[in-house]
Structure 1
Amino acid sequence: MAILALLSALAGFIKVRYLVDKANIDNFVFRAHYRLTTAILFACCILVTASNLIGDPISCITDGAIPEHVINTFCWITHTFTLPDELGKGIGTHVAHPGVSSYVDKQNKVRYHSYYQWVPFMLFFQGILFYVPHWLWKNWEEGKIRLITDGVRGTTIGHTEERQNRQKQLVQYLIDTLHMHNVYASGYFLCEIFNLLNVIGNMFLIDSFLGGEFFTYGTKVLELSNMDQENRYDPMVAVFPRVTKCTFHKFGPSGTIQAHDALCVLALNILNEKIYIFLWFWFIMLTIMSGFALAYSIAVITLPSIRETILIRRFKFGTPQTVSALIRKTQVGDFLLLHLLGQNMNMLQFTDVLNELSERLHLGNNLPTAPSTLELSPIYPSDKLRLHKETEA
């Protein structure tokens, strides 16, 4: 029940973050890093520390000469090992368990396993790493979007006087700070680069942590289903063995050193293997999404036509002439600010903001023409006489 309470608390924290009316200052790929991935890593950390799921993380079998709690503690805090040359051999005929067989010290190739002590710490540390880019961007952003959209943020449109006044203040702020947001935008784009480097760096970190096995871990698991049932061995068992060996040395009655060989069951690895195969696929997918997000940002920075397309197709604003004039008048930092405003406002209200901004900047493309103004205005007798004289002249 304790594990369910912890996971429920974590899920509740995530849910509250989504429901609270806060300003949206990033995109969904950015949020996949600091919300979803951080939550996944913290949840995995909780799972591997929950003893009520798997019982004792390690249980060792000896000849009885050493107390059980002593050998368990010793093998947990030091290391266990397997024999990689014995993997794939017949269980029960050639080896007792995958990678577990008799061996001669310094003659057999040995693979030591001590990572299981650090798995929860590593998962927690990685969760913090994925939150760091958001923390940096949040401090760089300093609540600007939240402040300038206060009173107009949300999906509903209110025609109250206060809301209209806030909209006019927002437009005035955009005019007063025109061309002053490039440093603001550079912080966002740098954090997007940091996101991509962060997920790639975490993959290298796990690969080093698991002894160079992580990068090929997922592909080996996928290849497992295509192998013959009699000849294949589970690569998850090779990376996360369920049964290992441990050697404990102590002095005998005559003072000679005695070596006690123990078999240790690593119940924790039944969770570790599932966690890391999921992380392998998730990190690959997150890397691809981050790469596309960064390529999109580069296109926004370098290609004004992309910025025009975003305003026309995503925010349904204006005509190509109006949008082109607005893009020429603004810079990349101004566009990022407008883009974030569009994510926090109702589309119709955001269009009104862009229209008013274009009008205040004297772009002129979305202002009513002179003929339409005459048609909509009443014509008085004095006006008719004036128009008649102008026609005769």
Structure 2
Amino acid sequence: MRKHYLFILLCVFTLLINCSGNDDSPLTSENTAATTVETGKLSGKVMSQNGTKPIGGASVFTFDDKYKIYYTTSDADGKFILEAPVGNHTIYIQTGNGSNFRTEISATVKNNETLNLDVSQTKLNQVAKIAYVKGTYDKIEDIIQTLGYTATEITNNDLANLTTIAQYDIIFLNCGSRSSYSSNPALFATIDTNLATFVANGGSIYASDWDVAYLVGGATNTNNCSLAGGFVPDTKLCSKNIGTSGMVAATVNNAGLTTALGFNTLTIDFDLSAWQKIINYDPAYWEVLVKETSTNDALMIRTNHFTATGTTTIPIGNAPTTTFVTVCITLSGNIQISLSVPQALVPYLVALGATVGSCSGSSTSGYIYYTTFHNHASGNIGNAGVILQYVILNL
């Protein structure tokens, strides 16, 4: 009887050991497999649409099958290396928030291998519809064309027609284009209202030097603060036509712009006897991108904080037909980036913490860029030309 009892105990003990061993083994294997992510790399060089200019500061990214983002940026020479999970992926290349310039590439990533993308694949495509108003001194259209992109010339009469300008995503205002103000102030009052509506609904504009008058009022230029006209509140910006000619040492004041350019100091030629000088601005409203080194005066500013009450709600440019949505994604280190992604991805990204809309500014506002310096491609503007390329691609 005693032997039989010991035999039963031995069998139970053996059974317990066997059961414990069978449970542990697959769990360990499963957990190890779940935490192992096989990755490879993609390398390339972001180029303008005509393949002649490298594009620095471009966002390059993809997602895994659980919608985790893999992200990098191109350097000043347009070069990038993106680590990505193994498999077939869509690679996105964008500037700005991706709503105006972007490219998509299908690529197969292999474990521990680097896939070199051809420059024919990494050209940055123009999605935006771009317009410009011809100026007296500047030709931003020439810089646009050197990048291989296209822009349509419009007039101040076109600016007075909201239906016409709503066709475009971006409008460039060359210095001196407001010169006919005194002959028809009623026309420009309509223009100011239309530009407010355009930006409030997501359109972006760029103005140079004397064309600050479109923003804050005045005729060809502004000679005082709080003048009649314009659409940016007088409390947000004042610029006076009191600058003098000469070479000015400048500093790039934005980390993203510095990365894209590959330098943070430059010399700008203010080549007119008088130019607009920013007297004061609201730092919570405007971001300073370039400043004068010796005085810290703002030379280039931008905002996407514009709001206006009573403006018409109207679709702008490609908005009615686009299948892309701007979202704000937080990277490691609490770095936030605004990107455009296919609409089908939005619910999954939101579930992981992304928010719809840009990371900063008004939820509906487009960008306003203003430079006190000129933008003509043939003029002596030093290395400010590459800054203006950045402006074009990041509106």
TM-score, length basis structure 2: 0.20
TM-score, length basis structure 1: 0.20
Higher relative contact order (CA 8 A, sep 6+): 1
In our comparison, the structure showing a higher alpha carbon Rg is 1
Looking at secondary structure, tell me which structure has more helix per residue.
Answer: 1
